[in-house]
Amino acid sequence: MDLGDKKAATKRQATFAFSAFFAFMLLHQTDKLLIGPLQGQIMETFKINFTQWGLINTLAIVVGAVFYPLWGWLYDHYARPKLLALASLIWGCTTWLNAIAPTYPVFLMTRASTGIDDSSYPGIFSMVSDYYPPKERGKMYGLLQVAQPIGYLVGMVLAIVLGSLWGWRNIFYLTGGLGILVALVIFFGVKDQPRGAAEPELQGVEHLEKFKFSWTTVWSLFRKKSLIILFLQGFIGVFPWQVITYYIFGYLGKDGRGFGDTEVLLTMVPAVLVMAAGYPVGGVLGDRLFKKTPKGRVIVGAAGVALGAVFLFAAVKVPYADKLTFGILLACASFFMPFASPNVISSFYDVTEPEIRATTNAVQNFIEIFGSAAAPLLAGILADKTSVENSILVICVGAWAVCFAFFVFAGRFIPKDIADLKAKLRARAEESGVRPAAETAGGA
């Protein structure tokens, strides 16, 4: 096979893999986030209060956090598509167990078990980094993450339209079955890539598999100042997402603004669609600014959390009777909220070695989830003591203000950490007898 045919084959593999990853994330997010729109049915079934409801979601998050390091280590050692297929199979089986739970304690345990596959995403992002070069990653991560809000939207429609007809248990049977189907597609259809295959500095280097996972390299992450700051940002940054995911429907309905089902749909569908656009827009802006300055991605991330906080605060302060203005401001907040996500992932991979990227992503996610695991429970306690509206406002705006400060500080250190990694990859290429191609100043 000549070079042109090889590149064409790799491009086809990348397209199929990306499509499979998108399907996994779309349907997995549908399954995972269904519980939010089904809150009323589930609380009524088990006769529970907000604190008990928050505990259900917090336990699943804790289990996911515990499994992040294991998934990261496995992805950096073994075939990533096969492991992702296993995660999809686990998703299907644990969702079915959740559907048959007869009592609240059993539901609590089975829901916690669904957290096992929730932490399987580092393998996806790691593989994408080996299919696409740095200059395209923000866009590709942004496009991939469109699956998350669209999955939320699909779950919302399933819950509202079919929930009353089928009941929440039958909807869980459906989404669990889809998990098993996706597992088969990934297992037989997705091919792995050598780790580091898309790095400009390593083009032409053969036998990339010789660069193995090393705990010494992993521990060196904690000497990179930009990573430490971004880890801290992540610790706080997921708080708002957890609170909005599990409480926004209650706030829009009987626990806040008093919207009916149709009004909830008319408010949330535009907001979620605009949010879906925010992921790739944020990623593309990060890529473009990254070409001009190594600080480009964190600048876009900072802008996203700042504007998201401003518009959410403004939306919550709108009088309940003014539903149109509330919906417009909520949509504006939704557009900017995801700007940080593709840029944070890309920034991690801009400064870490290819053979430890799944572990790096897992450490990041572990810190994020560990930090935010208590968010649903804390929000529930605050909602019981004050109101759901106050709980959402205090936690979201406060967390995003802290994240803005962390992004500003990360911008001071990330140029050096990017330069250090590029120098290390060029040294690897030279040791292999390959002279690395020239790069642009911002990031090739």
What is the third-level CATH fold of 13-194+213-431? Answer: Growth Hormone; Chain: A; (1.20.1250)
pLDDT score of 211: 72
User: Chain centroid to CA 210: how far?
Assistant: 30
Contacts of 117 (CB under 8 A, 6+ apart): 28, 87, 88, 90, 91, 94, 179
pLDDT score of 202: 80
Element (H, E) at 442: none
User: Collapsing DSSP states into helix, strand and coil, what is residue 37?
Assistant: coil
pLDDT score of 134: 87
| Per-residue CA distances from 296 to 91, 141, 289, 346, 412 (Å) | 36, 16, 4, 11, 12
pLDDT score of 441: 46
pLDDT tens for the chain, residues 1 to 444: 555 666 777 788 889 999 999 999 999 988 887 887 788 888 888 888 888 887 887 788 888 888 988 999 999 988 999 999 999 999 999 999 999 989 999 999 999 998 899 889 999 999 998 898 888 888 999 999 898 888 877 887 888 777 777 888 898 999 999 999 999 999 999 998 888 888 888 877 776 766 777 888 888 888 899 999 999 998 888 888 888 877 887 788 877 788 887 888 888 889 988 998 999 999 999 999 999 999 999 999 999 999 999 999 999 999 988 989 999 999 999 999 999 999 999 999 999 998 889 888 888 888 887 767 677 778 888 888 888 888 888 899 999 999 999 999 999 999 999 999 999 888 888 877 666 555 544 555
DSSP secondary structure letter of residue 435: P
Domain boundaries, the chain: 13-194+213-431
Q: Return d(Cα 185, Cα 24) in angstroms, integer.
A: 10
pLDDT score of 6: 66
On whether the pTM is more than 0.85, the answer is no
Q: Please, is 39 exposed, middle or buried when counting C-beta atoms within 10 Å of its C-beta (0-12, 13-18, 19+)?
A: buried
pLDDT score of 238: 85
Helices 80-99 and 104-113 sit at what angle, rounded to 10 degrees?
A: 170
pLDDT score of 150: 87
pLDDT score of 301: 96
